[in-house]
Amino acid sequence: MIRQHIAIVTLAAFALVACGTGPGSGDASDGSAASTQDIAIAGSGPFEDCYQQAAFGTDLPVPGVERELFVIIDQTTPMPSALVESLSRKVAEYLAGGSAKITVASFSANTASNFATVNFTGEAQGPVDESKRNDLNARKLAQLETCLAQMPGKLAARTDAEMRALVSTDGGSFASSEILGSLTALSEAVLVSQARDKTVLVVSDMLEHSSTTSFYADKSIRDFDVGAELQKAVDRRQLGDFGGAKVYVMGAGLLPPDSDAAATRDAAQLYTLKNFWQNWFENSNASLAGFGQPELISSL
C-alpha cells in the first residue's frame, strides 16, 4: 500500500553489490584528491582497541556503543573540494561529541571489482566503569586511560583519511547508478549495529539511473511521480531496514563538474527528488533529518 509512504515489505538478504553514476558524470575535482599519505593511512589495517591492548581480559568489560555514524560514499559522484572539506568538518564535529563508533562504506559500479562494501570501522571507546576502577591494576589502568584520551583524535584523523581516499576516485562514466540497490544492501550493516543512537550520512547526488528507474533526462532531473517511483522500488524489493537511524544526505542534485558555470538545478525538481528519498527512507525504517542540495547545512 502506498501512503506516499509505502508499506514496508520484508526484504531478503541482498548481496553487497552496487552502482555507478548517471549520465553527465565526470572527473573528481582537484581538491577532493587523496594524498599519498591519506591512502597509506587508509590502508593501515584495523583501528586500535585500547581495552584489548590493556590486556585486562574478562575482568573489565568494554563499554557498550552509545553512538555510531555510518558514512556511505557514492564513489561515482565527483565531489568538489568545498564539499569534501565540509564532509571532513561535519564528521570531525560528530566525533568531537564524545565516545562513538564510525563506519565508512562506499559503492561504485556494479562490476566484479566495484561493489558496495564496508571500508573501515573504528571506535573511540568509552571510559572505564567507575565501579570497576579500584579493582584494577593501577599501571594497566593508567595505560588504558592514556590510550582512551588519545583515541578520539586518532579516530578523527584515520576517518578523514579513509573518506578522502574514497572520494578521490574520478566519477568515471558508468552505465548505471543503482543507488537504491546499494543503500538497501548497506542498510543491513546499520540494522545490526548495537549502538543506541544510529546516524547515517549519504554522500551522493541521489540521482538513480538503473534498470529499476532513472531520474535523468538529458543530464537534467526529469519530472516524475513519487508514488509511482516508490512502487517500482517495492516491486524490485529495494527497500532497506536502517533500524530507526537518522539519515542525512550531502550532494543531492550535484551538477557534474563539466557543467556550464551558469547551470542550475530546477527547484521544483529538487523538491521532488527530496520528497522521493524522504518517503523511501521512511519506508526503510529511517528518518531523513537533513537533505543537502548539495551542501548539508545542519549538523549531524
pTM of the full predicted structure? Answer: 0.84
Percent of the chain with pLDDT over 90: 57
Tell whether omega for the bond before 257 is within 30 degrees of 0, i.e. cis: no
Cβ distance 224 to 272 under 8 Å? Answer: yes
64-85 burial: b if 16+ Cβ within 10 Å, else e: ebebbbbbbbbbbbbbbeebbe
- Give the pLDDT score at 161: 95
Give the model confidence (pLDDT) of 141-182 as tens digits.
Answer: 999 999 999 999 999 999 999 999 998 556 556 566 789 999
Rounded CA-CA distance 20/237 in Å is 19
Rounded CA-CA distance 281/249 in Å is 11
Rounded CA-CA distance 88/249 in Å is 14
Averaged pLDDT score across all residues of the chain: 83
Give the model confidence (pLDDT) of 231-269 as tens digits.
Answer: 999 999 999 999 999 999 999 999 877 666 666 788 999
Catalogue the E-assigned strands of 147-244. 197-203, 216-217, 220-221
Cβ–Cβ contacts within 10 Å for residue 268, how many? Answer: 10
Q: Write out the three cell numbers for 147.
A: 590510550
Residue 60 has pLDDT above 50, yes or no: yes
Closest CA to 68 of 106, 101, 104: 101
